[in-house]
Structure 1
Amino acid sequence: MEQAGPRSAYGSTGVGIPDPRTGARRVPAQPQAADVDRERAAAALAASGVVVVPGAPGPAAASEAAEAPVGGAAEVRGEHTHSEAPVPRPRAECTRPVVQRASVRGQILDALRSALVAGELAPGEVYSAPVLGERFGVSATPVREAMQQLALEGAVEVVPNRGFRVVERGTGELAELAEIRALIEVPVMLRLARTVPAARWAELRPLADATVLAASLGCRATYAESDRVFHRAVLALAGNSQLVRIADDLHRRAQWPLVGGPATRGRADLVADAAEHTALLEALVAQDLPVVQSLVREHFAGA
């Protein structure tokens, strides 16, 4: 099992623990002033099943932690870090990652996905495993393994002897993803609208409310996770696990940042996007098929 290296200000360490490599003492970041609304929103998210992992919103899946390393380590060893720009820190609205010893690779994968969605890993930039490992207070090995998984998913590409470059995407690719998602999910939702009783849709209302609360936090990564949870729950009613897996992969890809575009969507954009979940549920309860079809297509295009 991969063991975590020296824990930093991003890990769960005591105040003033010296770094054995530099001798410098690392002091954990101090919390922001209490925000009652934000705390209530986070608590409500947790109650609805959306786990807000500090600094890297979204739980690390146990299945990811069990995956075997992909690819050869020789491709990425010997990364040069002396001229590499520091990795941006999470926005104030997002909490910080706490990496525990168990399931290190899965937690790092989850944290990197969140950093990617939040725009902290910029398209076109190259990041080395040692520098990212320093950020999370672990060795380079679990970072390499997590980044190799992201390479399989198409989020990054290997740069021999340097690290990993975040893939640059344009609006054309985003439009293609929206079209594919609509082709897959619209027919499924129309069928579900005709067959699923209103009581079952009512059970999903807390998940729709959770997306609204997540949007109010203004943290892109937290909202992205709650958004996927809602859509997975809707599609799960079809009873097709392969459909859910494929749709979730497309959904995740659609959340990656665009080259040359804003690093994150604004709070107002997230709130508007979340409101469409509530409207969709109401249309599904009413079995209003034209509205369901229109809302789903517009939702994918706007995402």
Structure 2
Amino acid sequence: MKQGVQGSAGTGTPDLRAGARVPRQPTARDTGRERGTVPPPVARGEHTHSESPVPHTRPVVQRTSVRGQILDALRTALVAGELRPGEVYSAPALGERFGVSATPVREAMQQLALEGAVEVVPNRGFRVVVRGARELAELAEVRALIEVPVMLRLARTVPAERWAELRPLAEETVRAASSGCPATYAESDRAFHRAVLGLSGNEQLLRIAEDLHRRAQWPLAGGPVRHGRADLVADAAEHTALLDALIARDVAVVRSLVGEHFAGAV
């Protein structure tokens, strides 16, 4: 018969022989209970009306929430030209800038890498992709191929009152353009286009159009900001004119305006 491992005398090593039970060592809670400083455990399901709930010392922040906030901040910095094309940025340095650890920054930058905004540089960080006018023209062409037919169809089918509901979004693009901030305008611009295309009820269309639109807003290699304030104001004015034509169901004017709108994005 095999013998179990016996404890050494005086060493305190547990007796591991077959069938032997290892005595449970007293814990701090046991000691406290003996001294009367720790209340007895409450049975599961027992109500303790006399006990007050333990307050949280600080709110619990989900990591996905931090990652999302950092992703939004990085996208804003990218459009504003604060992250310059061709430059390499490390996650720790950006984390220090935003007051967070490197982990959510790295996760957000990896998402931007999937979107094509940055590329991974091993052992260094992430390089902002250098883009030229040709890529911007290609994006404008693809956007026009997708959005123009949808807008023309909606111009014939959507009632005027539904288009009138989008007036605040069009006016918001005008206010954002007047601020001269490209990041602020980029957000309002996407919101207006998303609302227009949203009337189609096609979620896949919205997802693809949003991705293309966001890519078209990234800065070019020639400078941090592609559009000046005057360009933004002119672009926003096309939104209000387009909405007027959609409300009036003037398909010819809609066709002309959307064609000019995407041509101006080049």
TM-score interval w.r.t. the shorter chain? 0.7 to 0.9
Task: Describe the SS at the equivalent of 1:188.
Answer: helix
The aligned residue for residue 116 of structure 2 is: 154
Task: Describe the SS at the equivalent of 2:120.
Answer: strand
Counterpart CA distance in 2 for 1:289 and 1:261 is: 37
Report the AA paired with residue 103 of structure 2.
Answer: T
> Are positions 1:265 and 2:227 aligned together?
yes
The aligned residue for residue 254 of structure 2 is: 292
The aligned residue for residue 206 of structure 2 is: 244
> Are positions 1:233 and 2:195 aligned together?
yes
Report the AA paired with residue 143 of structure 1.
Answer: V
RMSD of Structure 2 on Structure 1 (CA): 1.2
Equivalent residue for 1:119, pick from 74, 77, 81: 81
The aligned residue for residue 134 of structure 2 is: 172
Deviations 1:218-240 (A, max 9, x none): 11111100100000000000010
> Are positions 1:302 and 2:264 aligned together?
yes
In structure 2, the gaps of 5 or more residues are 1-59
| CA apart distance, 1:201 | 0.5
| CA apart distance, 1:261 | 3.6
- Whether the 8 Å contact between 2:71 and 2:109 is mirrored in structure 1 is yes
Counterpart CA distance in 2 for 1:298 and 1:144 is: 39
Counterpart CA distance in 2 for 1:301 and 1:256 is: 17
- Whether the 8 Å contact between 1:118 and 1:264 is mirrored in structure 2 is no
Report the AA paired with residue 129 of structure 2.
Answer: V
Task: Describe the SS at the equivalent of 2:119.
Answer: strand
1:179-258 residue pairs with structure 2 within 5 A? 179-258=141-220
Deviations 1:133-166 (A, max 9, x none): 0110001000000000000000000000000000
Aligned residues: 204
> Are positions 1:279 and 2:241 aligned together?
yes
- Whether the 8 Å contact between 1:169 and 1:259 is mirrored in structure 2 is yes
Task: Describe the SS at the equivalent of 2:86.
Answer: coil
Cα 1:268–1:101 shift into 2, 3 Å:
farther
Counterpart CA distance in 1 for 2:238 and 2:252 is: 15
Counterpart CA distance in 2 for 1:256 and 1:193 is: 29
The aligned residue for residue 141 of structure 1 is: 103
Report the AA paired with residue 96 of structure 2.
Answer: E
Task: Describe the SS at the equivalent of 1:157.
Answer: strand
| CA apart distance, 1:294 | 1.9
TM-score of the aligned structures, taking structure 1 as reference length = 0.66
Task: Describe the SS at the equivalent of 1:123.
Answer: coil
Deviations 1:5-43 (A, max 9, x none): xxxxxxxxxxxxxxxxxxxxxxxxxxxxxxxxxxxxxxx
Q: Which moved more, 1:100-109 or 1:240-249?
A: 100-109
- Whether the 8 Å contact between 1:128 and 1:163 is mirrored in structure 2 is yes
Task: Describe the SS at the equivalent of 2:127.
Answer: strand
Deviations 1:28-85 (A, max 9, x none): xxxxxxxxxxxxxxxxxxxxxxxxxxxxxxxxxxxxxxxxxxxxxxxxxxxxxxxxxx
| CA apart distance, 1:301 | 2.5
Counterpart CA distance in 2 for 1:147 and 1:261 is: 21
Counterpart CA distance in 1 for 2:258 and 2:88 is: 35
TM-score of the aligned structures, taking structure 2 as reference length = 0.75
- Whether the 8 Å contact between 2:182 and 2:225 is mirrored in structure 1 is no
- Whether the 8 Å contact between 2:186 and 2:217 is mirrored in structure 1 is yes
> Are positions 1:106 and 2:68 aligned together?
yes
Report the AA paired with residue 243 of structure 1.
Answer: L
